[in-house]
A and B are shown apart, each in its own frame.
Chain A
Amino acid sequence: MSGRVAIVDVAQTKHGAPYIRNLTVSDLVYIVVKELLEKTGISIEDLETIITSSSDFWQGSGCSNVFYFDAAGAYLKDSPKVEEDSALGFVYAFMRILSGHFDKALIVAVTKCSEAPSISDITSLNSDPFYQRPVGIEEVTAAGLQAQQYVSRYKLSDEIRAEIAVKNYRNAINNPYAHRRMNLTIDEVLGSEILAYPLRRLEVADGSDGAVAVLISSEEAARKLTDTPVWIRGVGWSVDHYFLGDRDLLEVVSLREASERAYKMSGIRYPRKQIDLAEVCETSTVQELLWYEGLGFCNRGEGWKLIADGVTGMYGELPVNPSGGVLATNPYVARGLIRVAEATLQLKGEAGRRQVPDAETAIAHSTHGAAGSHHTVIVLGR
């Protein structure tokens, strides 16, 4: 490998804000790319590659990247589209820099959930037409099956689940880019209607509108562009079996695999000790616990303790989702890259009221697929 790769800077929309509802997907992309160029002081001519990330089904458009191609500044540039998960767009851009072919790469991701059918409508189409779709498997149903299994196997209480939601929505209050910023009580979470038993409405991530852009570069370029480069220390991504029945939904093997790869690359042996904060992609409350376990923050079945002991709270030893996470903000395909952007702001010390003090090492995690079948783990450091 030809050396270190850094994140230079990031830009995001005020996700879910009323003003972006009336803008096109293309407008959102244009706003974040423009802002990022201004922030980093580079011109669009300085960029040779722009990796985009979106979904054709979400956008209701074949080749969704073509719609915002010009807006991404990609005219006459090398600009592919990584589908479904923008964290994978990020790792692709990372590989492009590592290859030595490019010294800078822009990654931009977008989804406007308000223009599309619901998450369940779309993700029911992730299911095969023969066996899983006819019995109603989509993201929320799969999350319900997974949650119920967790509750049964580990005797998880309703209150712990609700506390995860309370924590994340409350953290979001400190994040000006977050969508659902709420100060809720446990009773309010548990009082919201059941969506997929045992999960309630406030335990399941609803969609948002939003876009995010990240500029990465070689070490040499980064030194010129920023005083606070954030280094990409490790990456890993992996997939589980397709059929829910083939998997143990609580084993999260693909997350374990992805984190092992990322940790090995970054030399992390004791994640709980060596990581200062994590931005994870929890599409349900119970998933946040499972991701703690898969990321090696605790043993199997013990994720609840980190909540009970406040370890992953804003003032805990390993804050998780200081941004409010995906429960608060979920522009579907963009959510993975938002985790990267938020972790970057933390390591730059630019996270404002949601800043975790003295953060040295952070994790950005993303997932897609029923009950988290695909996972990406990115380790960032100062």
Chain B
Amino acid sequence: MRKVAIVGVGQTRCGRRDDVSFPELVHEAVKEALEDARLDIKDIEAFITGSMPAPMSGINAPHLYWADAVGAYRKPIIRVATCGTTGGSIAHTGYYHVASGLFDVVMVVGAEKMYEGDPQGVMTTIWDYRYERPFLAGAPGVFAMQAMEYIHRYNFTLEEVAEAAALLSVKHHLAALDNPYAHIKQEITVEDVLRSRIVAYPIRLLDICPISDGACAVILASEDKARKITDTPVWIKGLGYCGDEQLLADKDLVWWLSAVKAAQKAYKMAGIENPVKQIDVAEVYNPFTYQELTFYECFGFCSRGEAVKLVKEGFFNKDGQLPTDPSGGVLCTNPIGATGLQRIAEAALQVMGRAGKRQIPAVETAFAHAMGGSYSLNSVFILSRSK
């Protein structure tokens, strides 16, 4: 099978970007990525784009709207969209473009302009119009139910879990200060989190990601090309994608089978048997603090019900056994169509050793995740310095 490497990444400054139009925002990330890989637009053979459901930006078929901005004139372009998982899905698509042998160098672009539309209004339409749509209030309402289920499943008290969640929030906010692309840059304390407004019980404002405008581009290349383009190719050593049922109530949201299986597939391909030992840093798609606890367990970073304890022990801190989200994660930056791809870009930068102040020392292998759909779709990448 053909090996595929990441050879360049580009990210825009995220936040409220009223200063640029949607295509101009996308263009920024594309230019950054080309510069990063020292490539010309002519070198890019095909483009893979994605964003949230098109109603989010109010423009249908956004790949056509972006076509000139990514430089796709007379070239292949495709749009793949799977809600929050989009950033992961387009990276998968880019991977298969190269792995198929049809292309050698492709660019994957994800973007969102969330301040231009009504994100929660759109996300509510993910749910079945007959049965679930009237009840499910955007994303926070659903994740709040997941949090309660988690607390109940393992017989925690709310306070125990809320504290672990708050610690994660503090940790990510601190990390975001080191990330020049991050949106929310604010030092906070555990007390700040626990005293912030309840948005959907038990989830508080500082447990929740922001909405952001932002774009991210990643350049993928075949082995031959990758070696010519860069001295620090980041190899896609494993990838997995999995989805579970449509209806929210059908799923086990504490032991998310789609998350478990997506990770298992990626681990198998990458030869990972002991994730904690073999993974040096993880960029987990964490729009909600409580949810991140369940992900740690589903990905085998700890055993079931153990995440609360490990968070409190600092296991996932920058100097812990498995550092997570040194970028500040989704909790601090969330242009959804780009968010999953940012996890991959950030993980790649860690492997390249070019993550600046957020660098974790000596990263050999990194983990990058995305989640979306009716909280049903999960994507996992394992990136590595060695093939």
Contact = CB atoms under 8 A, between A and B. Distances in A.
- Tell whether A pairs with B: yes
Interface of A: 1-2, 26, 55-57, 60-70, 74-84, 88, 91-92, 94-96, 98-101, 122-123, 125-126, 128-130, 235-242, 246, 253-254, 257, 261, 368-370, 373-374
Contact of A95 (B21, B58, B99): B99
B153 interface: no
List 3 A-B pairs, minimum CB-CB distance, nearest first: A99-B99, A95-B100, A62-B53
Contacts of A370: 64
B101 A1 contact: yes
B72 interface: yes
Interface in B307-349: none
B180 interface: no
B1 interface: yes
Contact of B83 (A62, A94, A96, A239): A62
Interface in B233-259: 240-246, 257-258
B116 to A, nearest CB: 9
18 contacts: A2-B1, A56-B54, A60-B129, A61-B129, A63-B374, A66-B376, A68-B246, A69-B245, A76-B258, A92-B96, A95-B96, A95-B99, A98-B99, A100-B99, A123-B60, A126-B59, A129-B58, A253-B74
B52 to A, nearest CB: 7
A122 B80 CA distance: 19
Interface in B13-58: 21, 23, 52-56, 58
B172 interface: no
Interface stretch (B120-128, B270-278, B283-291, B356-364): B120-128
Given A81-B80, A374-B63, 6 more contacts: A62-B53, A80-B82, A126-B65, A238-B74, A239-B72, A242-B67
Interface in B257-300: 257-258, 261, 265
B100 A240 contact: no
Contacts of B258: 76
B245 A70 contact: yes
B92 interface: yes
Nearest to A254: B74
B235 to A, nearest CB: 15
A64 B54 CA distance: 11
Contacts of A57: 54-55, 60
B163 to A, nearest CB: 33
Contacts of B97: 95
Given A62-B123, A84-B79, A95-B96, A69 B54 contact: no
Interface of B: 1-2, 21, 23, 52-56, 58-61, 63-65, 67-68, 72-83, 89, 92-93, 96-97, 99-102, 122-126, 128-129, 240-246, 257-258, 261, 265, 372-374, 376-377
Residue from B58, B78, B99, B101 with most neighbouring chain A CB atoms (10 Å): B78
Which of B55, B73, B75, B376 lies at the interface centre, i.e. has the most chain A CB atoms within 10 A of its CB?
Answer: B73
B42 to A, nearest CB: 15
Contacts of A75: 243-245
B52 A374 contact: no
A254 B377 CA distance: 33
A99 B169 CA distance: 40
Given A83-B61, A92-B93, A56 B55 contact: yes
A281 to B, nearest CB: 15
Contacts of B72: 239
A2 B67 CA distance: 31
B238 to A, nearest CB: 11
B53 A63 contact: yes
Nearest to A95: B100
Given A63-B53, A66-B376, A83-B79, A242 B68 contact: yes
Nearest to B50: A83
Contacts of A128: 59, 65
Given A76-B243, A94-B100, A242-B67, A66 B373 contact: yes
Nearest to B74: A257
A63 B86 CA distance: 10
Contacts of B1: 2, 99-101
Contacts of B74: 238-240, 253-254, 257
Contacts of A237: 76-78
B96 to A, nearest CB: 4
Contact of B100 (A1, A26, A254): A1
Nearest to A257: B74
Contact of A70 (B79, B82, B246, B261): B246
B75 A238 contact: yes
Contacts of B373: 63, 65-66, 69
Contacts of B123: 62
Nearest to B125: A62
Contacts of B65: 126, 128, 242
Contacts of B99: 95, 98-101
A92 B82 CA distance: 15
A63 B336 CA distance: 13
Contacts of A91: 78
Contacts of B376: 66, 69
Nearest to B377: A66
Contacts of B52: 62
A309 B93 CA distance: 43
A155 B263 CA distance: 61
A244 to B, nearest CB: 11
Contacts of A69: 243, 245-246, 373, 376
A94 B102 CA distance: 10
A240 B129 contact: no
A122 B242 contact: no
Contacts of B54: 55-57, 83, 125
A74 B78 contact: no
A238 B372 CA distance: 29
Contacts of B129: 60-61
Contacts of A101: 1, 96, 99
Contacts of A257: 74-75
B1 to A, nearest CB: 5
Given A1-B101, A63-B126, A95-B100, A80 B80 contact: yes
Nearest to B56: A62
Nearest to B48: A92
A91 B257 CA distance: 28
B53 A77 contact: no
A122 to B, nearest CB: 6
A299 B336 CA distance: 46
Contact of B60 (A70, A88, A125): A125
B125 A76 contact: no
A144 B108 CA distance: 34
